[in-house]
C-alpha cells in the first residue's frame, strides 16, 4: 500500500542543506544556458500540477510512470532521457553536456532543469511526472528557482536494495551502467544524496511512499489511489 509520510529522518543522517545554496548561486551565474536578459516564465501562466517521481535504480519508476500516463493523462519527463536526447541532437548544449560527462563531471543542475522547462513549455498539458529528478538538494533548489514552482506531490518508490540490483541486472537494456559494480555505486550515491530530497519533501507533507515490491500491477494498485485523489 502507499502511505503519506511525515518524516524519513530515520533513513538518513541529519545534514545541513544550506551549503548547497552557494554552489547553486555560483553555477547559475556562470552556466552558459542562462541568458543575462530576464524573461517572463511562460509556465507561470499554466495551472501546473507537478509530481516528482523518486526511487533508486531498478525501483520501477519508469514502468509505473508509463501506467500513470496511460491512466491519468500525465506527461512523463525523464531527466536522464532528456539529457541523452540532447546529446544525440548534436546541439550546442548537447555537446556541452557530452563534454561534461566525458570529463567525469556532473552535469550542472540548471542544464537539466532548462531541458525539463523547455519540454514543459512546449506541452499543451499541465500535468507532469518528473522522473528521476531532483537527485540531490542542488537539483531541487535549481528546479524551484528556475521553474518557479514546487512539486504538488512526490512519489517515492521504496524498494529493497537486493531487489533493485536483481531487476537492473535482469532488464537487459544494453546500458553500460547496468553491471553489479556500477549499480552498487549508484545505490550508494542514491542513499547519500537522493534520500535527503525524500526527507525534505516528507517534512513538507508532500511525500507518498510506495511499496515497490511485487508485480507491476500490484505496485500500480498502490499508486492508483494517490492520483485518483488528485484528479486535476
Rounded to an integer, what distance in angstroms lies between the CA atom of residue 121 and that of residue 148? 13
What is the chain's mean pLDDT, rounded? 81
According to the annotation, is 151 in a ligand binding site? no
With beta carbons less than 8 A apart as the criterion, state whether 52 and 133 touch.
yes
pLDDT in tens, 64-73: 999 999 999 9
According to the annotation, is 59 in a ligand binding site? yes
pTM, two decimals, is 0.76
According to the annotation, is 160 in a ligand binding site? no
At residue 77, does pLDDT exceed 90? yes
The CATH-assigned architecture of domain 48-229 is: 3-Layer(aba) Sandwich (3.40)
According to the annotation, is 140 in a ligand binding site? no
According to the annotation, is 62 in a ligand binding site? yes
pLDDT in tens, 207-230: 999 999 999 999 999 999 999 998
According to the annotation, is 214 in a ligand binding site? yes
- For the ranges 1-5, 77-81, 100-104, 126-130, the maximum mean pLDDT occurs at 126-130
According to the annotation, is 50 in a ligand binding site? no
pLDDT in tens, 27-39: 443 344 444 344 5
pLDDT score of 1: 62
pLDDT in tens, 152-172: 999 999 999 999 988 888 876
Residues 6+ apart with CB under 8 A from 132: 53, 54, 61, 78, 79, 80
Residues 6+ apart with CB under 8 A from 125: 73, 74, 75
At residue 104, does pLDDT exceed 80? no
Check residues 16 and 190 and name the one with the higher pLDDT: 190
According to the annotation, is 63 in a ligand binding site? yes
- Give the residue-averaged pLDDT of 79-102: 86
pLDDT score of 175: 54
Rounded to an integer, what distance in angstroms lies between the CA atom of residue 119 and that of residue 24? 22
According to the annotation, is 135 in a ligand binding site? yes
pLDDT score of 36: 38
pLDDT in tens, 172-212: 655 545 567 777 888 888 888 888 999 999 999 999 999 99
According to the annotation, is 210 in a ligand binding site? no
According to the annotation, is 114 in a ligand binding site? no
- Give the residue-averaged pLDDT of 137-151: 94
Task: Using alpha carbons, list the distances in angstroms from residue 70 to 67, 76, 188, 224.
Answer: 5, 10, 32, 12
pLDDT band of residue 44 (cuts 50, 70, 90) is: low
At residue 47, does pLDDT exceed 50? yes
Angle of CA points 42, 121, 45, to nearest 5°? 30
With beta carbons less than 8 A apart as the criterion, state whether 72 and 227 touch.
yes
For strands 2-4 and 49-55, give the pairing.
unpaired
Amino acid at each position: 500500500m502507499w502511505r503519506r509520510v511525515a518524516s524519513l529522518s530515520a533513513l538518513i543522517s541529519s545534514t545541513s542543506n544550506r551549503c548547497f545554496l552557494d554552489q547553486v548561486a555560483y553555477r547559475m551565474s556562470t552556466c552558459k544556458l542562462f541568458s543575462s536578459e530576464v524573461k517572463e516564465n511562460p509556465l507561470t501562466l499554466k495551472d501546473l500540477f507537478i509530481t516528482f517521481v523518486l526511487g533508486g535504480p531498478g525501483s520501477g519508476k519508469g514502468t509505473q510512470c508509463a501506467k500513470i500516463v496511460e491512466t491519468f493523462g500525465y506527461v512523463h519527463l525523464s531527466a536522464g532521457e532528456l539529457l541523452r536526447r540532447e546529446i544525440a541532437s548534436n546541439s550546442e548544449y548537447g555537446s556541452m553536456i557530452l563534454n561534461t560527462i566525458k570529463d567525469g563531471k556532473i552535469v550542472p543542475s540548471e542544464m537539466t532543469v532548462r531541458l525539463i522547462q523547455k519540454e514543459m513549455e512546449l506541452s499543451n498539458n499541465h500535468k507532469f511526472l518528473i522522473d528521476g529528478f531532483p537527485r540531490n538538494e542542488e537539483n531541487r533548489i535549481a528546479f524551484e528557482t528556475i521553474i518557479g514552482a514546487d512539486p504538488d506531490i512526490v512519489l517515492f518508490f521504496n524498494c529493497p536494495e537486493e531487489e533493485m540490483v536483481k531487476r537492473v541486472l535482469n532488464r537487459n537494456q544494453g546500458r553500460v551502467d547496468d553491471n553489479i559494480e556500477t549499480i552498487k555505486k549508484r545505490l550508494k550515491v542514491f542513499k547519500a544524496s537522493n534520500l535527503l530530497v525524500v526527507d525534505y519533501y516528507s517534512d513538507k507533507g508532500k511525500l507518498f511512499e510506495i511499496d515497490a515490491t511485487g508485480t507491476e500491477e500490484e505496485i500500480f494498485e498502490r499508486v492508483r489511489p494517490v492520483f485518483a485523489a488528485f484528479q486535476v
